[in-house]
């Protein structure tokens, strides 16, 4: 197993953290290296309905259990030491819980997870099974709100570290600010063209919020298209922009630098791939998943990535420039 580096690596260590190179004062924040960066980009020739389609393989951003959650955990687990307890919360088939338990264990910590019921699909069932293997006591409760309250209370106990749903806090979003700077460097190096839009799933919103901040810092005019996978009450543009602004404020406060304001016009949420419930499969998404499987041998999940890839295919039909699909789900988690 790949061992994570010690917390707060020195500036001469190659961690792939371009954010810390750009803002050295952020090194005062607790941080641990869990990823192997950068994650690769690739073209998907012949896939889509017009504009070229590319993919950001963020499923390969860590040696095990990669995906978007591990980027956030590099900051969220920064204070965690061997013997500590991490408390987190999510749905029955939460990839966030699976990722948290996996990477907290790499640091010698124990995870306490609380879950709630939701519509399931075959991949979500496998994720739930993997969670139980790691955390036999990760019980499932019927009420999401009550589960959230219990988890927050449990995380207040002395010696515990609480991580909210999806790890979507300004601290967690810093991992995705770095991801944006990483992609900017790949574009500058000629590894892919400047995309018109980046399409990704949106649940708790940490990934898209961090990317919004990062692309403003990089000065790249890229539109972020979030495919909504949860109820509109909790998954919406206002919440995403609010988290992005709080993340930018955190960077400004720690570094003393003035950041460019978030451009709301660069963030768009699409709702047509939701499917009516979190975790509920969408027929069109199953077709999209088969397209990517045939074209590149990449497996998607029905909760997040298959719905987002459906939206990405839709975007290619009207776009004038390339579309980038940001893959947030690591299928290796199901077999490791």
Q: How far apart are CA 163 and CA 31, in angstroms?
A: 15
Contact 218, 180 (CB under 8 A): yes
CB 208 within 8 A of CB 200: yes
Written as one string, the DSSP assignment of 77-97 is TTT--TT-EEEEEEETT-HHH
Which residues, at least 6 apart from 116, have a Cβ–Cβ distance to it below 8 Å? 90, 91, 92, 140, 141, 142, 143, 144, 147
Question: Going along the chain, which residue ranges are E strands?
Answer: 41-43, 53-57, 85-91, 110-116, 140-141, 160-163, 197-202, 223-228, 267-270, 323-327
d(CA 72, CA 169): 9
Grouping H, G, I as helix, E, B as strand and the rest as coil, residue 123 is helix
Burial 259-288, CB ≥16 within 10 A → b, else e: beebeeebbbbbeebbbeebbbbbebbeeb
Which tokens hold the place of 100? 């948290």
Contacts of 51 (CB under 8 A, 6+ apart): 196, 315, 316, 317, 319, 320, 321, 322, 323
Q: Catalytic residues, which ones?
A: 94
Q: Which two tokens stand for residue 87?
A: 């408390």
For residue 211, which of 19, 29, 7 has the smallest C-alpha distance?
Answer: 19
């Amino acid at each position: 197993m790949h061992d994570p580096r010690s917390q707060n690596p020195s500036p001469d260590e190659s961690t792939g953290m371009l954010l810390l190179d750009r803002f050295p004062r952020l090194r005062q924040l607790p941080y641990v290296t869990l990823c192997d960066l950068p994650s690769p980009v690739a073209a998907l020739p012949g896939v889509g309905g017009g504009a070229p389609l590319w993919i950001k393989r963020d499923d390969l951003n860590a040696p095990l259990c990669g995906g978007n959650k591990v980027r956030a955990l590099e900051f969220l687990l920064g204070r965690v030491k061997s013997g500590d307890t991490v408390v987190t919360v999510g749905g029955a088939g939460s990839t966030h819980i699976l990722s948290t338990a996996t990477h907290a264990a790499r640091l010698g910590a124990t995870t306490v997870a609380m879950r709630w019921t939701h519509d399931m699909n075959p991949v979500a069932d496998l994720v739930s099974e993997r969670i139980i293997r790691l955390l036999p006591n990760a019980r499932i409760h019927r009420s999401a709100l009550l589960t959230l309250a219990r988890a927050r209370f449990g995380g207040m106990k002395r010696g515990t570290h609480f991580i909210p749903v999806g790890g979507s806090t300004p601290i967690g979003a810093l991992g995705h600010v770095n991801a944006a700077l990483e992609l900017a460097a790949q574009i500058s190096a000629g590894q892919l063209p400047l995309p018109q839009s980046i399409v990704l799933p949106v649940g708790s919103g940490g990934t898209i919020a961090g990317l919004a901040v990062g692309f403003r810092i990089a000065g790249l005019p890229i539109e972020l298209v979030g495919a909504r996978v949860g109820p509109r009450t909790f998954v919406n543009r206002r919440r995403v922009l609010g988290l992005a602004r709080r993340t930018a404020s955190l960077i400004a406060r720690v570094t003393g630098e003035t950041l460019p304001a978030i451009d709301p016009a660069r963030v768009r949420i699409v709702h047509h791939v939701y499917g009516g419930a979190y975790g509920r499969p969408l027929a069109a998404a199953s077709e999209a998943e088969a397209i990517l499987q045939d074209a590149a041998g990449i497996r998607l999940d029905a909760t997040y990535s298959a719905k987002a890839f459906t939206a990405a295919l839709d975007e290619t039909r009207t776009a004038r420039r390339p579309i980038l699909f940001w893959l947030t789900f690591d299928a290796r988690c199901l077999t490791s």
